[in-house]
Structure 1
Amino acid sequence: MDYFSSDFTLGILGGGQLGKMMLYETRKFDIHTKVMDASKDAPCKIGCDEFVIGDLLDFDAVYNFGKKVDVLTIEIENVNIVALEKLEDEGIKVYPPTAALRIIQNKAKQKLFYVDHNIPTAPFSRFAYASEIKESIEHGSLDFPFVWKIAQFGYDGQGVKIIRNMKDLQGLPPGECITEKLIPFKNELAVIVARNVKGEITTYPVVEMEFHPEANQVEYVICPARIEDKVANKAREIALEVSKQIKHVGLLAVEMFQTKENEILVNEVAPRPHNSGHYSIEASYTNQFEQHIRAILDLPLGNTNSKVAGIMVNLVGAEGHTGDVVYKNIEEIFKMDGVTPHIYGKRQTRPFRKMGHVTIVNEDINEARRIAQQVKETIKVISK
């Protein structure tokens, strides 16, 4: 199929920042795009050829949108999968395939998938209702502390909570969830795997992630991870095994824990471009967004090597600020060498909302990390 400067249409479900950055690449290649999102102010609106307002969880909205494109992809997992399955049955190419998406959408199914395929992961329990957790503790089958996760629709740190006592159970959503053993890990790592329709596969370097302790969001992504080669090789091997078993098409971001004993445990996966790959826009030969486009259109995969060390700093809304956004001191980070800010196009800020990111590139990873800290301390995302 001729994708370039043609009548071909690529559909994207979700109009957030991931879709916006994907559109940088489709515009570079002159691929016609159509995006659907529930918000009329979605960041993707300014970059696509056609923009449709619609609920991603509504069957009719997703089905009718998908009927008018040639290939359909996602930038967020929370979509109506029944509509996607019907589109697949009718010949629309949907990537990631719905069989993979069904597993990934639900964290309980995801964890069971790892167990069934001998993929190392933290011990867990599955609950149909959150109220059952208390009973499990009282009967001695669940011990503090543990991690609670909502089974579906958790996103950007929402739907995850460390439970240290009975009081922490208050206010949890009532529906299906899992609890995981709290792992005393040494590092949180991630590997992005790219797989095209033919099954050709490649991985990006292992990255190290530093999280905000309250928001459960990534603050820094460091590439390459500051770990031993044998640990990095193990992480890549496990990520490739997850990819092989789940049979995705496109990108698969595999988040992992490195334990104090240097074991690698899979935490969870995302079947799309991912926060852990944003560094690649400036630091890699082929950035993750171009790679996703290559993979879902069954084009040859690009070089995933890094040209230079890269660190990504998330820009999130400051606590105590809600309303029209102001990027305080942004002009100061423009003065720093190797620093590139990315602003997502969200006019309204709120505490911990992802509003942008900054990439720092440098031949010396330690110098890049020093500058990243300086960036983090300089720019503030506040409201007017």
Structure 2
Amino acid sequence: MQKKLGILGGGQLGRMLIQSATDFNIQMGILDSQLEAPASSLAKHFVQGDLLDEETVYAFGQDYDLISIEIEKVNTAALKRLEAEGKKVYPQAAIIELIQDKGKQKEFYRAQGFPTADFLLLANKEELLAQTDFLPAVQKLRRDGYDGKGVQVLRQESDLGKAFEAPSVLEKLVDIQQEIAVIVARSASGEIRTYPAVEMIFHPEANLVEYLFSPARIEENMAQKADQMAKDLIEKLGMVGLLAVEFFIDRAGNLLVNEVAPRPHNSGHQSIEGNVCSQFEQHLRAIYDWPLGDSQIQTPSILLNLLGEEGFHGPAKLEGLKEVLAISGVHLHLYGKEDCKPFRKMGHITVTDQNLERLMEKARFVKNTLKIRGLHRI
């Protein structure tokens, strides 16, 4: 029998991990604060509880041989106690703790020699007001930012009124040419494998990935550079599991580490159909210390996030489903979220085709045809 696996977080990543774990007869439990979390209906065991409460996380971990995460916002003190008692926690608690704090992340990159945008660490808004010479810049909350939240651009002094009060990172605004990501896995035995770089295009308002190209449309030497940097990062961290590394390529051709996520990631969803081994299976292989899977691309793909339409809320309604399912190479993944809000991630679509021109045509059609919105106008 496989070791029992407990996952902190029951969102769409947890849901897709369960779907992959089923093939290995892995008994998987989920802890999440929401009773109707996307993973709750699929989990062998589901516990409703606060991911930030030490005793709740500790008690949940007692029932499992192996503990992992699908979200960074968890109580690490509980995970350290579980580690001290011999439980396997991957990624390790200290690494989760480092990545939870964007300031510590940036200091780690600087200390280890990884290129990253210039930055300042600020305790409050008052400190920021003294740094007008550093503008234009991006202000990021040190903790709890996600999916574009807790991030804002401050271009000039007149923008400072909207600055965050909480501790933050002030990062020099990068003149971005492209944004790419490399997912890298490292097993408990130290085996490392990367996925080919993907290119991310962000929604201009929601600051979420709107669609993604696999492979990235970049020069081979840039792809190799990003690949090696991702390997070096996970090696320096000594992390077990899956690490998504987001990069900026600036207009001068410099490759800069933006930030990382120590778990399956939106930039790897297309791997379910597009790569030999999906990111979800790879995460399981890494934490169970099995041989890592082949991460090569089987077919070029484009991923589109299915976001709730603006101006609507309430029970989700899907439009254009029959039209897009009639197209070869269109793969729909809905996340089981009943309530639809503007820009909420409700699912994703992966479009595959060996012919790049056809692939683009299909993706454009899907993007314009498939919509999800709440039943009620806001």
Pairwise TM-score range, normalised by the shorter structure: over 0.9
Aligned ranges for residues 117-266 of structure 1 at < 5 Å? 117-137=112-132, 140=133, 142-143=134-135, 145-266=136-257
Task: Report Cα offsets for 1:80-121 as digits up to 9, x if no partner.
Answer: 111111111111110001121121110000000000000000
SS at match of 1:169: helix
Q: Which residue of 2 aligns with 1:335?
A: 326
Q: Which residue of 2 aligns with 1:92?
A: 87
Alpha-carbon offset, residue 167 of structure 1 = 4.2
Change (3 A) 1:107 1:366: farther
AA of the residue aligned to 1:163: L
Consecutive unaligned residues in structure 1, runs of 5 or more:
none
Alpha-carbon offset, residue 323 of structure 1 = 1.1
TM-score by length of 1: 0.95
Instruction: State which drifts further: 190-199 or 318-327.
Output: 318-327
Please tell me whether residue 103 in structure 1 is matched to residue 98 in structure 2.
yes
AA of the residue aligned to 1:119: F
Task: Report Cα offsets for 1:298-357 as digits up to 9, x if no partner.
Answer: 000000001111110000111111111111212211111200110000100111111100
Q: Which residue of 1 aligns with 2:284?
A: 293
CA–CA separation in structure 2 for the residues paired with 1:28 and 1:22: 11
AA of the residue aligned to 1:305: Q
Change (3 A) 1:317 1:168: farther
AA of the residue aligned to 2:68: T
Instruction: State which drifts further: 299-308 or 96-105.
Output: 96-105
SS at match of 1:308: coil
AA of the residue aligned to 2:255: I
AA of the residue aligned to 2:74: V
1:18 to 13, 22, 29: 13
Alpha-carbon offset, residue 172 of structure 1 = 4.2
Q: Which residue of 2 aligns with 1:321?
A: 312
CA–CA separation in structure 1 for the residues paired with 2:17 and 2:65: 17
CA–CA separation in structure 1 for the residues paired with 2:217 and 2:361: 14
AA of the residue aligned to 1:274: H
Alpha-carbon offset, residue 169 of structure 1 = 3.3
Instruction: State which drifts further: 21-30 or 364-373.
Output: 364-373
CA–CA separation in structure 2 for the residues paired with 1:379 and 1:132: 46
Change (3 A) 1:311 1:122: same
Contact 2:76 2:94 survives alignment (8 Å): no
Aligned residues: 375
SS at match of 2:40: helix
Task: Report Cα offsets for 1:204-243 as digits up to 9, x if no partner.
Answer: 0010111111111101111111111011111111111111
CA–CA separation in structure 1 for the residues paired with 2:77 and 2:184: 26
Report sequence identity in percent: 46
CA–CA separation in structure 1 for the residues paired with 2:162 and 2:254: 34
Task: Report Cα offsets for 1:143-187 as digits up to 9, x if no partner.
Answer: 2x2111111111111111111234433444421111111111211
Q: Which residue of 2 aligns with 1:360?
A: 351
CA–CA separation in structure 1 for the residues paired with 2:127 and 2:366: 44
CA–CA separation in structure 1 for the residues paired with 2:311 and 2:130: 37
